[in-house]
Every structure is written in C-alpha cells, then in structure tokens.
Amino acid sequence: MSAAAPRALLLAALPLLAACQSNPGEPPGWWARRGADLRASFECAVAFGPGLGARVTATRWLQVGGLAIGPAEGHSRLAPFPQRSAGLRAGEFRSETLRALEYGLSPWYASEAVLLDDEGGPPWRGDLAATRATQLAAQVHLGVVGATLGFDPGAFLRLLAGLVGIEPDPQTPEQAPN
C-alpha cells in the first residue's frame, strides 16, 4: 500500500468531517446531532488523585456503592493534591477536578460533588447521582487511580432513531456542566 492511499482516504473524509460541524449560532446539523448522540452513549474516564471506593449504576434510580474522591474540605494537608479526571463525560471530552462523596443503596443513595472545569468555568456543585438518567455505569477508585466506564441506552436509542429519520424531542435531565 503506497503512501498516497491513506492521503486520498483522508481527503475523501474531509467533506464528511465538515458536515459533522455546526456553525456558532446555528442549530446543529444532522451529522452533528448523530455525533452528539454517539458521544453521549458512552462514558470513559480515568482519574488520578486521592480516593477510595466503588459504585455501580443502573439508571439514576438504581445505584449502590460508596465512593470518596478528592481531599476532604479543610484536610488538604493529608492529600495536598486534587483528584483530576479526564475522558469522555456527558458527551464531551473533558478534563476536570472533582471532589465527591457518594454512598448508599437506592432509594437512599446520597451524592454530593464539586466539579471544577479545567477550562476556567464556574464550579458546579450538586448531586452527581441525578445526572445519570438512563446510564449503566461502574466506577472504581483505589488509592490514587480510578476509572469510570458507562453506557447510556437512552442516548443510544436517540442515535438509532435519528439514523432512521425519527428526530426525538431533546430531553434535558440535570447534567453536570458541559
């Protein structure tokens, strides 16, 4: 295979990539909406920093686990560095600093979190459990490294419906900032 073949493939894909973008101020096009649905279907993130625990989620109404991530307020001498995570979350590739405390078994699942967007946005404080809507996910954090994997069947169904020409009404569950 010569070097010209990959270059030709890339040049052929450029119009497709341009079609997937939206101009600022305009509603997103068909390709951009399908791409957003596909990204929203999956969550995958790695985290580095202090934390301990595990959580399993099968929608926002069925969660179990215990998870403490990031240094406790007022106790930063024990863990002077924050917990940092990066990956695909809420349909966006993001990097953020997180402090969260989650524990319990649904319907008595408690969650309190503070997210600091690394791009300088205002801090988000709230209940991370309420942002999970129809998501199936697992999260584990052991000492200084953690991982989150998730799949959202609701977003995937929106993707499939859009592919066959059915444009579902956008639903806006409570979400962490994008």
Rounded to whole angstroms, how far apart are CA atoms 91 and 45? 12
Q: Is the pLDDT of residue 160 over 60?
A: yes
Q: What percent of the chain has pLDDT over 70?
A: 74
Q: What single string gives the DSSP state of each residue in 3-68?
A: THHHHHHHHHHHHHHHHT---TTS---HHHHHHHHHHHTEEEEEEEEEEEEEEEEESTTSEEEEEE
For residues 113-132, give the mean pLDDT.
84
Backbone torsions φ then ψ of 130, nearest 5 degrees: -75, -15
The predicted-structure confidence for 28-49, as pLDDT tens digits, reads as follows 788 888 888 899 999 999 999 9
What pLDDT is stored for residue 90 in this prediction?
79
Rounded to whole angstroms, how far apart are CA atoms 28 and 22? 5
Among 28-42, 68-82, 121-135, 153-167, the least confident range: 68-82
- Averaged pLDDT score across all residues of the chain: 81
The predicted-structure confidence for 12-21, as pLDDT tens digits, reads as follows 655 554 555 5
- Please, are residues 137 and 149 in contact by the beta-carbon 8 Å criterion? yes
What pLDDT is stored for residue 7 in this prediction?
63
The predicted-structure confidence for 38-78, as pLDDT tens digits, reads as follows 999 999 999 999 999 999 999 989 999 999 998 765 555 54
- Please, are residues 70 and 123 in contact by the beta-carbon 8 Å criterion? no
